[in-house]
Structure 1
Amino acid sequence: MKTFGFAGWSGSGKTTLIEQVLPHLTTKGLRVSLIKHTHHDFELDQPGKDSWRHRQAGAHEVLLAGGQRWALLHELRDQPSPSLTDLLARLSPCDLVLVEGFKREPIPKLEVHRPALGKAMLHPDDPDIVAIACDQWIDAPLPRLDLNRADEIAQFILDWIQT
């Protein structure tokens, strides 16, 4: 499976951009999956529900299955967080995996940058960043893409993974 990442500071618009790029990729016939890294604790399950109670009781994994989707909840307990490689191995086969976060992983990445945030650019310290999506013109040694043109960004990704 090919991977392509989106890296940027919090508030730069990574999630929104991915949300806009995905339809352009899927209409080209690609089966696309996504892995998102978060530094925050999160809860997919609802306290009090049977599956939540099973996890609280000590279940290592709980798989929820319904007519429209299924989800596997895996409790790390005292185990370290899995690597991107470990997570990729758990996905079903697809054409492309978009990765949000994991900005230090050695995969090709698009830096999502908004100068108004006042944060430093990531690409000078990350040789895996292959282009920059920005909401205004910046001077950079990499291809620059308009953050507001999801169609052009999707095409860049398609071209990149086909090389």
Structure 2
Amino acid sequence: MRLFGIAGYSGSGKTTLMEKLLPRLTARGLRVSVVKHAHHDFDIDRPGKDSFRHRQAGATEVLLASSARWVLMSELRADPEPSLAEYVAHFSPCDVVLVEGFKQEAIPKLEVYRPANGKPPLWPEDPDIVAVASDQRPLADRPGDPVWLDLNDTETIVRFILDTLQLATLQPGGNRHAVL
């Protein structure tokens, strides 16, 4: 299981880019999982539902299951937030985990950068950013700068991620071959 991060400020287009990357990666026969970090309290459950009531009554974990999907909700209560590695350990085997958020993790990352947002780029301060996907060309091309990719060229971004992770894809019939 290989991890690759998608980083950037809120509103930069991280989720939109991931929506474009996922079908292209899975079409290559790869099993892809996603972990997204939320910077605020969130709840996927609703008051009044049985699972919500179980958690409110003190259950540490509640697994909600159906024939279409399942979700495991864990209450941290006073425990510290788990690390990215601890979260990823809950995944079933897969080829790649795309990570949105977890900016401080030492994993290869692509920054989604839009100068029009008025925010400074992350890459000068983060040595793990190996590429920048932007809707504008870089102002300078200096040695040591990350690779600069066109944010609208999803196919090139997919190839860059696969090359960076040295990940093979599946040919029709299930045979793995090197990424082109």
TM-score (normalizing by structure 2)? 0.88
**Residue 89 (structure 1) shift:** 1.0
CA distance in 2, matches of 1:146, 1:2: 24
Aligned AA for 1:125?
A: E
User: Taking CA–CA contacts closer than 8 Å with sequence separation of 6 or more, which of the two structures ends up with the larger relative contact order?
Assistant: 1
1:70 alignment partner in structure 2: 70
- After superposing on structure 2, the runs of 4+ consecutive aligned residues of structure 1 that deviate more than 3 Å are none
CA distance in 2, matches of 1:32, 1:91: 10
1:16 alignment partner in structure 2: 16
1:97 alignment partner in structure 2: 97
Larger Rg: 2
Aligned AA for 1:154?
A: V
CA distance in 2, matches of 1:157, 1:54: 41
RMSD: 1.0
CA distance in 1, matches of 2:74, 2:154: 33
After superposition, the C-alpha distances for 1:12-67 in whole angstroms (9 at most, x for unaligned) are 01011001111010000000000000101111111110000000000000000100
Identity %: 63
* Alignment gaps of 5+ in structure 1: none
2:126 alignment partner in structure 1: 126
**Residue 142 (structure 1) shift:** 1.7
* Structural mapping, 1:1-163, within 5 Å: 1-139=1-139, 140=141, 141-162=145-166
CA distance in 2, matches of 1:103, 1:148: 23
**Residue 158 (structure 1) shift:** 1.0
**Residue 75 (structure 1) shift:** 0.3
Aligned AA for 1:153?
A: I
CA distance in 2, matches of 1:2, 1:41: 28
**Residue 152 (structure 1) shift:** 1.4
TM-score (normalizing by structure 1)? 0.97
**Residue 6 (structure 1) shift:** 0.5
* Alignment gaps of 5+ in structure 2: 168-180
CA distance in 2, matches of 1:103, 1:66: 33
Q: How many residues align?
A: 163
Aligned AA for 1:145?
A: L
After superposition, the C-alpha distances for 1:80-121 in whole angstroms (9 at most, x for unaligned) are 111101111111110000000001100000011000011111
